[in-house]
Amino acid sequence: MSTASQSTFQHSTAMRPKGQKTKSTYFWLTEDDVTEFSDKLRDALPSLSWRCSHPSPDHLVVHHFDSVSDALRCGASPFVSQAFVEFEFSVLQFLFFQPKTLSHVIDNYAPGYRYPPTINMVECGRMAIRWNTQDGDELAQAELATQLKLIWKVFQQTTLPAKVQATAGYAVSGFRIGKHMLEKVKTESLYLKANGPFCVLSES
């Protein structure tokens, strides 16, 4: 099983309610990569409405936007932000991380790997949704399926398969990477965090 499949959205078959489905993808993107995806998705699905979600002193503030990039910028922290699309009976989450600096890394996944005293790294983001096929009618289910198919199609078109390996040496599959992030990793020796292990670009 790939590291990417170890999702918080996964449960054993025995625990899943009847009709429950999930769809998710993990990725490393820069803001420019997000903007490219956001612009193309807005062209493909102009009616899609994104909302931000960030805390305020009094309550949870929510604003609505016509693009994921605008929603992510609303109230974002320096390192992480998220945006959501509310469908008729489900919610799509888009979780995005910014690079950050770590010092004196202790990595239980690769205890023999020698990290520099200070590294730059970025956590993998996530686009995910869970829904139940018994909710709504056939028309609503078909509409959701069509929208999700198009969202994922645009995401695939604007990203690349990530060819990475854990610092322990084994291949890590199932992730996507943006074109700008790929260049950033190459030029800045950025480490990629993949639901546990740190990763680097594969040599092959």
Tokens read off for 5: 């499949």
How many domains would you assign to the chain? Answer: 1
| Distance from C-alpha of 112 to C-alpha of 122, rounded to nearest angstrom | 21
pLDDT score recorded for residue 10: 45
Domain housing 98: 20-201
pLDDT band for 17, please (50, 70, 90 cuts): confident
Domain assignment present for 66: yes
Q: Does a structural domain hold residue 8?
A: no
Tell me the C-alpha distance between 89 and 46, whole Å. 20
Q: Is residue 5 part of a domain?
A: no
Q: Does 101 map to a domain?
A: yes
With bands split at pLDDT 50, 70 and 90, how would you rate the model's confidence at 173?
very high
∠ CA 97-99-101 to the nearest 5 degrees? 135
Amino acid (1-letter code) at residue 3: T
pLDDT at res. 112? 93
Does 13 fall in a domain?
no
Residue 98 belongs to a domain: yes
- Dihedral of CA 28/31/33/39: which sign? positive
In a domain, 7, yes or no: no
Query: How do residues 60-100 score in pLDDT, each as one tens digit?
Result: 678 899 999 999 998 767 889 999 999 999 999 999 999 99
Share of residues in the chain with pLDDT > 70 (%): 87
**By three-state DSSP, how is residue 119 classified?**
strand
Q: What is the mean pLDDT of residues 135-160?
A: 96
Per-residue pLDDT, 54: 64
What value does the mean pLDDT take over residues 129-144?
A: 93
Asked if the structure places residue 65 within a domain, the reply is yes
pLDDT at 78: 82
pLDDT recorded at residue 8:
41
The pLDDT tens digits of the residues spanning 33-62 come to 999 999 999 999 999 999 987 655 555 678
Task: Grade residue 114 by pLDDT with cuts at 50, 70 and 90.
Answer: very high
- This prediction has a pTM of 0.87
Average pLDDT over the chain, rounded to an integer: 90
Residue 149 confidence (pLDDT): 98
